[in-house]
Amino acid sequence: MEYTSLGKTDVKVSRIGLGAWQFSEDWGLTEYQEARKIVSKAVEHGINFFDTAMVYGQGVSENILGKALNEIGVKRDQIIVSTKIPGEFLNPEDVYKSVNKSLEILGLKYIDVLLAHWPPCWHNYPTYKYARTMEKLVKMGLVNYLGLSDYPVELVESFRSSLASTDIEVFQIRYNLVERWAEEELIPYAEACKITVQAWSPIAKGALTGKYTLDNLPRFEDVRAGEPIFHPDNFTRIWPVIVKLKEIAEKYGKKPIQVALNWLIMSSPVIVPIPGAKNTQQVEELVDSVGWRMNYTDWLELEELSSRINILHSVFYLKYQKF
């Protein structure tokens, strides 16, 4: 496993983390023993950076992840757990109460990284107010570091300028080979300010594995059924990238998913992908995306092919028929 620094700190995090949203009804993995095997396999391979959130299964994901980490017996200072507080909980009373609950559910004495999951868009909580409330949790020792997820740069600046004695160390951004909007502002900002970027949906929710085709897209009960990336119009747009991933993967004796993640970590030193896994075999494959690098020519072919892609988010709306 490769390791990198967490933001400006000297804490070492694995170059690839593990997302735990999969441990919830959304993704259908709620059987504790199965989930525990996944966490255990990740630890065995040197992954020490785990991500969850209060909203993932309303506590189910936090509970499974925390219980597994405790039971596996890994030393507390050897793992870094990030969890996220939803935008609606960002008034002071909700912050204090929900973080307290999160600690109880996780079974941990402190949270390594607490991120605001998204900005409070339905309420008018002022940024300075919740920034200082979250900072207080750091002063109290309940949280080690702060982060922001799905925030635009303007709000990031406002949040940071409200802090008195700490700074943010982590961003969470949707970022993968075919969804690259983060490169416009957020990643350069993170590089300049030494902020670690946890790249979420780093394999485009499985689309970049090569196992889905136009005739075999996630459907019906699957949490991804309504995902624009799996809409046939968009999937057709990304298909040439999937074909290229397969071609490059074959050359290196790797899987398309490993090439896709390798491309991400090559693209910026601040990127730490946090893919989710549904079984131990997937963990083993994810781990093999680090510890090697594709050559520059292959990186560039993917760079050029994918930079032309735009995923359309209005696709479902555009198909609406009047009756």
Ligand X SMILES: NC(=O)c1ccc[n+]([C@@H]2O[C@H](COP(=O)([O-])OP(=O)(O)OC[C@H]3O[C@@H](n4cnc5c(N)ncnc54)[C@H](OP(=O)(O)O)[C@@H]3O)[C@@H](O)[C@H]2O)c1
Catalytic residues: 56
φ, ψ of residue 63 to 5 degrees: the values are: -65, -45
Give the interface segment with ligand X, choosing from 139-147, 163-171, 196-204, 241-249 (CB under 6 A).
Answer: 196-204
Distance separating alpha carbons of residues 69 and 85, to the nearest angstrom? 20
Nearer CB in complex with ligand X: 120/206: 206
Least Cβ distance, residue 273 to ligand X (angstroms) = 8
Give the interface segment with ligand X, choosing from 3-11, 18-26, 293-301, 306-314 (CB under 6 A).
Answer: 18-26
Which residue in 203, 172, 174, 176 sits closest to 267, CA to CA? 176
Distance separating alpha carbons of residues 193 and 171, to the nearest angstrom? 11
Give the interface segment with ligand X, choosing from 122-130, 200-208, 301-309, 312-320 (CB under 6 A).
Answer: 200-208
Give the interface segment with ligand X, choosing from 88-96, 121-129, 181-189, 203-211 (CB under 6 A).
Answer: 203-211
Asked if 59 interacts with ligand X (CB under 6 A), we say no
- Sign of CA pseudo-dihedral 15, 21, 23, 27: negative
Nearer CB in complex with ligand X: 261/294: 261
Residue whose beta carbon is closest to ligand X: 19
Which of 6, 11, 16, 20 is close enough to bind ligand X by CB under 6 A? Answer: 20
Least Cβ distance, residue 235 to ligand X (angstroms) = 14
Distance separating alpha carbons of residues 272 and 261, to the nearest angstrom? 9
The answer to whether 95 and 89 are in contact (CB under 8 A) is yes
Amino acid of residue 144? N
Which of 172, 196, 234, 262 is close enough to bind ligand X by CB under 6 A? Answer: 172
List all residues 6 or more positions away from 69 whose beta carbon is below 8 Å from its beta carbon. 39, 43, 50, 79, 81
Asked if 195 interacts with ligand X (CB under 6 A), we say no
CA atoms within a 13 Å half-sphere pointing along the CA-CB vector of 110 = 16
Nearer CB in complex with ligand X: 14/164: 14
Which of 206, 234, 241, 248 is close enough to bind ligand X by CB under 6 A? Answer: 206
Which of 64, 143, 277, 290 is close enough to bind ligand X by CB under 6 A? Answer: 277
Asked if 179 interacts with ligand X (CB under 6 A), we say no
The three-point CA angle 130-131-134 to 5° equals 80
Asked if 201 interacts with ligand X (CB under 6 A), we say yes
List all residues 6 or more positions away from 62 whose beta carbon is below 8 Å from its beta carbon. 20, 52, 53, 54, 56, 83, 102, 105, 106
Count residues near ligand X (CB under 6 A): 27
64: tokens are 């499974």
Which of 127, 144, 196, 209 is close enough to bind ligand X by CB under 6 A? Answer: 209
Asked if 262 interacts with ligand X (CB under 6 A), we say no
Nearer CB in complex with ligand X: 38/103: 38
List all residues 6 or more positions away from 77 whose beta carbon is below 8 Å from its beta carbon. none
Which residue in 162, 175, 54 sits closest to 115, CA to CA? 54
Asked if 276 interacts with ligand X (CB under 6 A), we say yes
Asked if 62 interacts with ligand X (CB under 6 A), we say no
Which of 15, 41, 180, 205 is close enough to bind ligand X by CB under 6 A? Answer: 205
Asked if 282 interacts with ligand X (CB under 6 A), we say yes
Asked if 127 interacts with ligand X (CB under 6 A), we say no
Report the interface residues with ligand X, using CB under 6 A: 19-22, 27, 51, 149-150, 172, 200-206, 209, 211, 257, 274-278, 282, 285-286
